[in-house]
Amino acid sequence: MLELAVKGNKWYWGWMVVLLGVIGAGFGLYLMQLKFGLGITGMSRDVSWGFYIANFTYLVGVAAGGVMVVLPFYLHDYKAYGKITILGEFLAIAAIVMCLLFILVDLGVPTRALNVLLYPTLNSVLFYDAIVLNGYLFLNLVIGWNVLEAERNGVHYQSWLKPLIYISIPWAVSIHTVTAYLYCGLPGRHFWLTAVLAPRFLASAFAAGPALLILLCLFIRRFTNFDPGRQQIQTLAKTVAYAICINVFFFLCEIFVAFYSQIPGHMDHIKYLFVGLHGHGVLVPWMWASMILMTVGIVLTVTPATRKNETSLAIACIVIIMGTWIDKGLGMISGGFVPNPMHEVNEYIPTLPEIGITLGVYAMGALVLTVLYKMAVGVKEEVHG
Amino acid sequence: MNNSRRRFLQIAGVSALGLGAKPVLDAFAAGGGEGPGFHVARGEDALDAKQWAMVIDTRQLQSSADLEPIVEACHKVHNVPTTIVNKNHEIKWIWEAHYHNAFTDKTNPFLNESVEHRPFLLLCNHCENPPCVRACPTKATFKRERDGIVLMDFHRCIGCRFCMAACPFGARSFNFRDPRPFIQETNKQFPTRAKGVVEKCNFCAERLAVGKMPACVEASNGAIAFGDLYDEHSEVRELLKENYTIRRKQTLGTEPAVYYIV
Ligand code: SF4
Ligand code: SF4
């Protein structure tokens, strides 16, 4: 099927060249980071995880979000999704590739990355995270590829795939659960030390993932001869609507617990994020923007008229992706580190090289996604077109 | 050349196989207690304990001037880079803090004046139930069963900084850049670190192995006591019996082994 990815018009190749350019620039900056050390980022002794880990966390969510088309199709026999499950699976692959790259660029000594497997440490959540992420990548590659090939050949996919497909559904939940456990099991980091963190991660994942999928479907319909279908997009939109509401609900639960109990350790991080602490508050405008964006997203997806109109739906998806990215990416990680264990406030701001490397990783993900979607859409055009 | 010290922390044959067989639950319960088979070559008069512990008599350390030589002794003997200007990249094993930063859960609005203005020494607590050890994915941070010291293998650390997020005491530093140009005077008896790994206080494991007390204890003029927490006749136990002591954030259950007399 790979041959489908090497046939394309000038827009396709132009896009690929742009992506390669960004990847190249990111790689150059990464070489700089390798030479100097992680000191070229904005991270510090106090905020020891930054942009890389934040984006990693966000993209684990995007990857898990793909299951929102796989599950209804295979478990509820919701036939309409048959057309687009492959898009969910391939999105998950691209997202996981980015996740693994973000972990790699975040390591102080990347050449030793394999130590995680050479010295398996059963009490470390990171060990399990490595396993579930790689496992999910593997599952989606095997399932996505074989199902698509079967569709191309006009046959039913191999029966041995069925158990893998069923496994992949709880597995999607596991990747984001384990990723939340990285944070919520740490004593003394009160912002993360909450049982609702994993559910909240999942809720925001099931909003952001399908929202991105809707945008991709709209794009595909517009620029190719394959129509993912109006009904499919509308059903996805309902998933997004529920999930973003639940996400905000979980957030409000956090606010209630912190501010009704009035325990300073719980309140301080939230105060830092939303009103600033001891005169520091770089994230304040961002966090409010996130809240506004998510609220607009709720209004647009819950109101039938704006959900059914694909233009306003597209806007809703964009604001939801932005809102959840700020919430989970920017706020969640540095918010957990500020104030530090000694209650000192040292803020974190990503540096330009750090942002450049991040963009490089995103471009890599976009490249993988483009190639995979090119193949998927090519097959769909052959079969349905 | 003191061979025993030079070979400090050399890995002598690591076998992951045995550890892989350990039941998962056991591993959780123990917090990954078992080190991966590191050998610190020990001299004949090596000091031993079930769990090394420290009692800091803060009444005897009233000003920054009292603390300075202690901090300096540690940083000097362990090749800690002290001339890094960028605060973000700072490395410290032992440092000075205000009471309300040291004991965030024990701050009263109206405090005994002498305590309020007294400087406090902060360092790794060598917790009996260390969350940093639990978090480390490579066992580069491990709790030595023999004497309870939480040690690091700089050659195994991948620099993921999970341990830094896990430590509730801010005891860990990361080498954001090559530290060597910032070491004032290199101590050839102790390894320097490379960029990309985490480091922290090691309770002077290399000195205990040859019968010496930790450098900070030696430099403290008797203000810091060091001994076995589980030997009821040890100096630290005597002090704990006679004085009221506090520990940092003991409600988190990490069981810090550094006690403060205030
Ligand atoms: S003080 Fe921090 S680094 Fe030291 S043992 Fe306890 S948790 Fe680990
Ligand atoms: S930074 Fe090193 S010591 Fe810390 S958790 Fe990662 S591998 Fe372990």
**What confidence tier does B41 reach under pLDDT thresholds 50, 70, 90?**
low
Q: Of the candidates B101, B160, B174, which has its C-beta nearest A343's C-beta?
A: B101
Q: Of the candidates A108, A124, A342, which has its C-beta nearest B104's C-beta?
A: A342
Residue of A17, A149, A129 whose CA lies nearest to A89:
A149
Q: For the purposes of burial, counting CB atoms within 10 Å of the CB of A234, is it exposed (0-12), middle (13-18) or buried (19 or more)?
A: middle
Between the alpha carbon of residue B119 and those of residues B60, B98, B101, B260, the distances in Å are 11, 5, 10, 12
Residue having the nearest C-alpha atom to atom 6 of ligand 2 = B160
CATH of the domain at A95: 1.20.1630.10
Identify the residue whose tokens are 């020891």: A48
What confidence score (pLDDT) does residue A334 get? 86
The DSSP bridge partners found for residue B259 are: B55
CA of B125 to the centre of ligand 1 (A): 5
Asked whether residue B161 carries a pLDDT value surpassing 90, the answer given is yes
Domain that holds residue A115: 2-384
> How many H-runs (helices) and E-runs (strands) does chain A carry?
15, 0
What confidence score (pLDDT) does residue B32 get? 36
Residue of A292, A321, A301, A323 whose CA lies nearest to A215:
A321
Residue B176, min C-alpha distance to chain A (Å): 4
* Ligand index nearest the alpha carbon of residue B258: 1
Please compute the mean of the pLDDT values over residues B79-107 and round it to a whole number: 96
The upper half-sphere exposure of residue A23, i.e. CA atoms within 13 Å in the direction of its Cβ, equals: 14
Residue of A175, A133, A135, A144 whose CA lies nearest to A69:
A144
The Cα A123–Cα B246 span in angstroms is 29
Identify the residue whose tokens are 């709720």: A298
pLDDT tens digits, A298-314: 999 999 999 999 999 99
ipTM value, please give it: 0.93
pLDDT tens digits, A61-119: 999 999 999 999 999 999 999 999 999 999 999 999 999 999 999 999 999 999 999 99
* Ligand index nearest the alpha carbon of residue A123: 2
What confidence score (pLDDT) does residue B38 get? 46
| Chain A residue numbers touching B89 (CB-CB < 8 A) | 39, 44-45
List the structure tokens of A161. Answer: 């795939």
Give the count of domains, chain A: 1
| Chain A residue numbers touching B167 (CB-CB < 8 A) | 188, 341
Strand ranges inside chain A, DSSP E? none
pLDDT tens digits, B111-159: 999 999 999 999 999 999 999 999 999 999 999 999 999 999 999 999 9
pLDDT tens digits, A325-382: 999 988 999 899 999 999 999 999 999 999 999 999 999 999 999 999 999 999 998 8
The DSSP bridge partners found for residue B148 are: none
Residue A149, min C-alpha distance to chain B (Å): 38
Cβ <8 Å between B32 and A122: yes
Q: Is A35 on the interface with B (CB under 8 A)?
A: no
What confidence score (pLDDT) does residue B43 get? 78
Percentage of residues in chain B with pLDDT exceeding 90?
81
Asked whether residue A277 carries a pLDDT value surpassing 60, the answer given is yes
Residue type, A184: C
Residue of A22, A3, A1, A11 whose CA lies nearest to A366:
A22
**Could you count the other beta carbons within 10 Å of the beta carbon of residue B182?**
16
| Chain B residue numbers touching A353 (CB-CB < 8 A) | none
